[in-house]
């Protein structure tokens, strides 16, 4: 017979072993293996907090990162794994494309007629897609990378579709696909690939500068805006991508059809910031998903905020565009904001301004979002 102390010790040991096995099984059941498509600029800044939260919740996260990237950096400390791949162009060449686009969208577009705008936009879009295809070459045409991805046993692929090809790779790997995006131009992807209804009589196209309160002429323009953008995007995006996808898969393939297979579309805004429109059930509003707990302000910023009095302060954000703004444009913005009583007021134009021009990401600028609606999400509903 086993004595009582020894019997109790044996029971405790067995109980501890059972608890350990249950915990291990629970960890294995809850933790997913997630592959993340590469992104850049504000799209990557927006994605990082989501990935860190996934790691906090016990998931394993692997991020594809190209050899030429403006904001993705394998040298910075992270809790997720990077899977690097090579591309055939230099970082300087890609930066030149971004600078050309910003020059057009910030400084030139207001002085062009519609015909010149479309010609310039088409040329930039074609060049951008060529870079996208070279990015994609570095993944799907690399036997070593594809072998690693197939052996990775990933549970899903998370992607911002602004970098093309995530749907193709998800299809090759046979795994679910989750999109995270704000919008596409004229909601082309959402309408044609995501099957999102968008009646032009009351749903203004993204970037059309219209509201849901349209008179007859504005509705006609909204209809034409949708049609013109669809023609341009077909010519500069879908036709080229269809040929590429068909070449990779060896069978006629529609890129839009592959995009339509996305299981969930995460729309990075709140429904009350959008004009009323019908949404498919797999479209989910996730405004503020990038929010993180606030950190204490540095001493000089805290002093600046506290000195603002009852009027408070103004935060004017430009996201990743801040590095490309000229001094003249900055002073023009500053002089406009100087007309209101709140701080800040423009340096060299009026006293009390504090101009922060820093390279994203940084402790100060990581919270900056490109777009007032996303900043409002953080300001109003962020933790």
Whole-angstrom distance, CA of residue 266 vs CA of residue 177:
11
What pLDDT digit, counting tens, does each position of 28-70 carry? 456 899 999 998 877 888 888 889 889 989 999 999 999 888 7
Domain boundaries, the chain: 1-30, 32-285, 299-381
Whole-angstrom distance, CA of residue 170 vs CA of residue 142:
16
Please check the confidence at residue 373 and state whether its pLDDT lies above 60.
Answer: no
Contact 293, 343 (CB under 8 A): no
Least confidently predicted of 137-141, 216-220, 314-318, 329-333? 314-318
What pLDDT digit, counting tens, does each position of 185-205 carry? 888 899 999 999 888 888 898
Full-model pTM: 0.75
Please check the confidence at residue 348 and state whether its pLDDT lies above 50.
Answer: no
- What is the spatial order of strands in the sheet that 60-66 belongs to? 81-85, 60-66, 33-36, 156-159, 177-181, 264-267, 283-285
Give mean pLDDT, residues 296-323: 76
Domain 32-285 in this protein, CATH class:
alpha beta
∠ CA 80-64-100, nearest 5°, is 120
pLDDT band at residue 14 using 50, 70 and 90 as cut-offs: low
């Amino acid at each position: 017979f086993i004595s009582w102390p020894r019997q109790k010790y044996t029971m405790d040991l067995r109980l501890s072993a059972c608890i350990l096995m249950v915990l291990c099984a629970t960890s294995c059941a809850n933790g997913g293996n997630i592959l993340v498509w590469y992104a850049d600029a504000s799209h990557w800044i927006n994605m990082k907090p989501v990935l860190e939260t996934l790691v906090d919740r016990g998931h394993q996260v692997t991020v594809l990162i190209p050899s030429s990237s403006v904001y993705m950096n394998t040298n910075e400390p992270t809790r997720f794994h990077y899977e690097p791949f090579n591309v055939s162009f230099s970082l300087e060449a890609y930066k030149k494309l971004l600078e050309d686009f910003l020059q057009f969208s910030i400084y030139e577009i207001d002085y062009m007629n519609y015909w010149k705008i479309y010609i310039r936009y088409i040329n930039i879009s074609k060049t951008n897609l060529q870079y996208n295809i070279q990015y994609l070459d570095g993944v799907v045409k690399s036997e070593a990378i594809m072998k690693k991805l197939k052996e990775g046993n990933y549970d899903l692929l998370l992607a911002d579709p602004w970098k093309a090809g995530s749907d193709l790779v998800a299809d090759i790997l046979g795994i679910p696909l989750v999109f995270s995006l704000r919008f596409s131009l004229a909601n082309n992807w959402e309408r044609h690939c995501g099957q999102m209804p968008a009646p032009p009589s009351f749903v203004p196209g993204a970037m059309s500068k219209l509201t849901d309160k349209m008179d007859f002429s504005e509705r006609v323009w909204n209809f034409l805006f949708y049609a013109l953008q669809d023609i341009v995007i077909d010519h500069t995006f879908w036709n080229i991508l269809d040929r590429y996808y068909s070449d990779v898969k060896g069978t006629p393939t529609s890129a839009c059809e592959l995009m339509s297979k996305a299981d969930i579309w995460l729309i990075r805004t709140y429904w009350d910031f959008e004009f009323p429109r019908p949404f498919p059930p797999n479209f989910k509003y996730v405004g503020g998903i990038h929010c993180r707990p606030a950190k204490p302000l540095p001493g000089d910023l805290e002093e600046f905020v506290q000195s603002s009095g009852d009027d408070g302060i103004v935060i004017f954000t430009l996201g990743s565009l801040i590095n490309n703004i000229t001094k003249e444009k900055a002073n023009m913005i500053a002089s406009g904001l100087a007309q209101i009583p709140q701080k800040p007021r423009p340096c060299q134009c009026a006293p009390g301004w504090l101009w922060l021009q820093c390279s994203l990401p940084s402790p100060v600028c990581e919270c900056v979002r490109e777009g007032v609606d996303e900043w409002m999400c953080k300001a109003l509903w962020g933790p």
